[in-house]
Structure 1
Amino acid sequence: MTTCAIYVRQSMDKATGIDRQLVRCRALAASRGWDVVAEFEDNAVSAYKTRGSGSAWSKLLASDAEVIVSVNLDRLLRGQADLLTIIVTGKTVATVEGDLDLTTADGRFRAELLTSLATFETNRKRERHIRANESRVASGLPVPGKRRYGFEPGNVVEREAEADVIRKAYADLLAGRSLRSIAAEWGRPPARVRTVLINPSYAGWVQRRGQLFEAAPEVARIVDRETWQAAQDLLMDESRRVGPGPKPRHLLTTIARCECGERMHSASRYYKCATGEPHSTIDRVTLDNYVKARLAIILTEDAGTPAVGEVGPLASRLRELEDERSRWTTVAALPGADMAQATRELARIASEAEKASRELGTARVAGHHAALIDDVMAAIQETLARGEDEDGILDLDLGEFTHYFDALDLDLRRGLVESKVTVTVAHGGKVTVAAR
């Protein structure tokens, strides 16, 4: 009796499609009186995806079946290379649409012709999809595809429960919580949560080939642009990258720096230089208490200083510099242009733009930390009001501030310290706490 192996494939993960193919292939094998020795399924495998070792395709080629049964060549082959691979095995192909004896010249010619036609149609369909997707993006609509977290299928209308989770994540991040703690709340790896939060789709952009386009009015904006951009300023900060290790459990872990420049980590009851060398080591409680006291004093001194620059004027200045850069770039391309002057101006603009961008990032983050800082300042002002003596000398009640500070969530405490001071520990235990 002739032995056969059934092969079925589909691009989308839908069990009904596979089941329908199996029914038709089994019926064909039964009508021929063939013995089905194996069935191979490549589910959710597109025509462009490599079917390598371990795939149903590779197992099919290695099987002892004399005949391969499939619904049609489109399901079985992706191109001439696949056809040649089957020819080498010496197997015959039978499809619901007709048989192909690949051991004869006529059979191989027909197979090559049908495969070429199938490849042509696949490529033409792909081109239509590309044109359709580009047209959608030009209209401000996302391309069809996998449902994005926070949106209903089609990625136009928000799914309220998920959108609320995303909004809370942005708010928590900007309030000082770590990405790691937000990820723990989501039950996902920090890298996955970071990928979600850097997606510009949540702020009303459509992304295509690395470019951003303004989304159409009907596309939901889950967060506003300022919130999204402030989050990017935090997430793109290399110092806040989340490593694979455990969540920090102490106030100054990775925030305090050894005099050599390396971060300090907690070891037993100490903070130690991460290099492992005999560099700076200091008692953890001692350093925590000293930094809290210095933080209170620095916040007190900041009470009368001007706030960080406002976002609006800084953003406008950055746009002006970008326009100026474009003008000088155009001038430099003109015949007879003074290249020396153009080079000087472009260098000046680059320097000013870098400074403006840095200040803008600081302003965005500071604006979203404002509520926490206001609460801390209010607590400090209360202790100051009670601690001012008759000569007007301020007597800050550090015990009361410490009690307030320690009641905050660890992420908020760490965020506040990191945003306001730098901590450096020298060999011998000398500590420098400077305002940012």
Structure 2
Amino acid sequence: MTKRAALYLRQSKADDEGIDRQEERTRSLAAARGWTVAATFTDNDISASKPRGAATAWGRMLAMADRLDVVVAVDLDRIARSTRDLNTLIDHGLALVTVDGEIDLASADGELRASVLASVARFEVRRKSERQVRANSHRAAAGHWVGGRRPFGFEADGVTVRPAEADAVRQGFRDILTGIPLAAVARSWNEQGFVTGQQRQARSGHAGEPSPWTAQSVRLVLTNPRYVGLVRYRGEIMSTPAKWPAIVDDATYQGVQAILSDPSRRKPGRRPQALLTGLAVCGVAGCEATVHGGANTAQRLRTYRCRGSLGHISRKADPIDEFVEAVIVARLARPDARQLLAAPSTVDTTALHIEAVAIRERLAALAADFADGLLSRAQMLAGTERANARLAELDVALADAGKVDKLGELIAADDVREVWDGYSTDRRREIIRELARVVVHPVGRGTRTFRPESVVIDWLS
């Protein structure tokens, strides 16, 4: 019976032997042996030293192993870089033949020879990886980018700023400081046409397309110290400043870190769609429940209703929203509006940053002195504890400085209404939350006109 052969082709680097050339050589070998080529499997830009899942050509080949007898590859490195891969082929009952020399996995001698060759290949992969890790560690310590996916806000070299994306990053930091949720930042970036550097997976139905922004991917950007001009490598922040420019200042960065690390932000539930959902409270005596948005489907009207009782309030939402927004805008347009803000910061953030850099360098020096035997373990631990305690104090001070004057942009505007109208609902909600407590009272039956006195706005400061 003629053997059924599968051609396995793989190319992981541009300078590898091309796929077309591999197919030509493996097909010639199959023809010379009189085998029927049942299928061809190609993994492009896939490393044999990394796991290959069911969605790869390797996975599809194993899935149809019961319809194959032998796998043909150019050489062993193309198909297996570990004894695990060889055992996988054996477990699936597949023989392996390479153009550069036959390996018979059905015999003990052939299995031993293949295992030795695979072990050597694995050794070479690990040695290369260790050299690469050491080289990357030295580069990171010197403030260089060690490569990878293009960082958002920068060109492919990881150093040159991409202006439009950098502006989006700055706005994202500002949004978080003013209370805008991560999901709203993601929507804004998506609406502006920005995409992540990651491709969508096959199960999404859009395989290969750029992934849109999500709250989680935005969080990864806004918690990355690269945007404040620092290098993070394998979880450690280097003491040497990065070779690329910072996109935001230290106070802004630390302020956002403090906000995003707050456990109270991780609350389940749907994002409010209406302006006053979860903000305004019911005005019925003794009821402190918030209102939520609803709809009168018969009249196609948005409404606000009390969460505590259906019989308390059910009112048209649009007139309430318009009134509250008008009062807020009028208050922010007054000359004394700045009194609503936190006191202006007198913190010298530049000095704090210089001190923080010096402490990080001191920590690196302590570690080096301990490794060289110049310090005892007790001395090293004592010095590290003091340095880390001061570094924590500096981080808190920088975070507080980043939270000051959240409404500065709005208050400084010549036309407050124009700026307000340009804000998203999420941002308007956070400004209202910052400034006032809104109480919505019920109105009598038959009331058809909006009564301003039925919506009370209590200023918080």
In the superposition, the TM-score normalised over structure 1's length comes to: 0.69
In 2, Cα distance between equivalents of 1:43 and 1:315: 49
Matching residue of 1:134? 137
Matched, 1:125 2:128: yes
Any residues of structure 2 matched to 1:144-223 within 5 Å, and which? Answer: 144-170=147-173, 178-179=184-185, 181-187=187-193, 188-191=212-215, 192-214=217-239, 216=241, 218-223=243-248
CA distance in structure 1 between the partners assigned to 2:91 and 2:314 by the alignment: 71
Question: Percent identity, aligned pairs only?
Answer: 35
Q: Map Cα deviations across residues 124-182 of structure 1 (whole Å, 9 max, x no partner).
A: 11211211121111111122222222222231222344334434544566677642552
Q: Given that residues 202 and 223 in structure 1 are in contact (C-alpha distance below 8 angstroms), is that contact kept between their aligned partners in structure 2?
A: yes
Counterpart check, 1:308 vs 2:343: yes
Could you tell me which residue of structure 2 aligns to residue 265 of structure 1? 292
Aligned to 2:87: 84
Distance 1:126 1:4 in 2: 33
SS in 2 for 1:312: coil
| Alpha-carbon distance in 1 for matches of 2:10, 2:37 | 17
How far, CA to CA, are the matches of 2:349 and 2:288 in structure 1? 31
User: Structure 1 residue 100: deviation in Å?
Assistant: 0.8
Equivalent residue letter for 2:143: G
CA contact (8 A) 2:337 2:411 kept: no
> Which stretch shows the higher mean deviation, 303-312 or 1-10?
303-312
Corresponding residue for residue 420 of structure 1: 435
Kindly indicate whether the alpha-carbon contact (under 8 Å) linking 2:341 and 2:406 is maintained by their aligned counterparts in 1. Answer: no
Trace 1:48-63 onto structure 2 (pairs within 5 A): 48-61=49-62, 62-63=65-66
Which residue pairs with 1:93 in the alignment?
96
Matched residue, 1:433: 458
State the secondary structure of the residue aligned to 1:205.
coil
1:413 to partner: Cα distance: 3.3
402, 405, 430: which one aligns with 1:367: 405
Tell me the distance in 2 between the aligned counterparts of 1:242 and 1:13. 46
1:251 has 2:289 as partner: no
Distance 2:8 2:337 in 1: 72
Summarize deviations over 1:292-333 as a string: whole Å, max 9, x none. Answer: 54785697776558852416258979989xx9xx9xxxxxx9
With over 3 angstroms needed to count, the CA separation of the structure-2 counterparts of 1:405 and 1:79, relative to structure 1, is closer
Amino acid at match of 1:266: G
1:115 is paired with a residue whose SS is helix
Q: Displacement of 1:260 after TM fit?
A: 8.5
| More helix, by proportion | 1
Q: Secondary structure at the match of 1:8?
A: strand
* CA contact 1:279–1:427 (8 Å) conserved in 2: no
* Offset, 1:11: 4.1
Shift, 1:241, TM fit:
7.0
In 2, the alpha carbon distance for the partners of 1:9 and 1:149 equals: 30
Shift of the 160–287 alpha-carbon distance from structure 1 to 2, 3 Å rule, reads closer
Q: Shift in Å at residue 243 of structure 1?
A: 8.1
Structure 1 CA distance for aligned equivalents of residues 175 and 17 of structure 2: 43
Distance change in 2, residues 1:282/1:302 (3 Å): farther
1:366 aligned counterpart, secondary structure: coil
RMSD after superposition:
4.6
Report 1:272-311 matches (<5 A): 272=305, 278=310, 281=313, 283=315, 284=317, 285-286=319-320, 289=323, 293=327, 303=338, 307-310=342-345
Q: Distance in 1 between matches of 2:139 and 2:306?
A: 53
SS state of the match for residue 238, structure 2?
strand
Partner of 1:25: 26
- Contact 1:271/1:282 (<8 A) preserved: yes
For 1:147 and 1:208, how far apart are their aligned partners in 2? Answer: 16
Which one-letter code corresponds to 1:289 in the other structure? F
Note the C-alpha offset of 1:43.
3.1
2:10 and 2:79 in contact (8 A); partners too: yes
Q: How far apart, CA to CA, are the structure 1 residues paired with 2:456 and 2:266?
A: 25
Change over 3 Å in CA distance of 1:66–1:434 after alignment to 2: same
> Equivalents in 2 of 1:262, 1:360: separation in Å?
37
SS at match of 1:416: helix
Contact 1:101 1:107 in 2 (8 A): yes
* Greater mean alpha carbon deviation, residues 55-64 or residues 139-148: 55-64
Q: Distance in 2 between matches of 1:157 and 1:362?
A: 30
The CA deviation at 1:265 is: 3.0
Contact 1:311 1:364 in 2 (8 A): no
Q: How many residues align?
A: 386
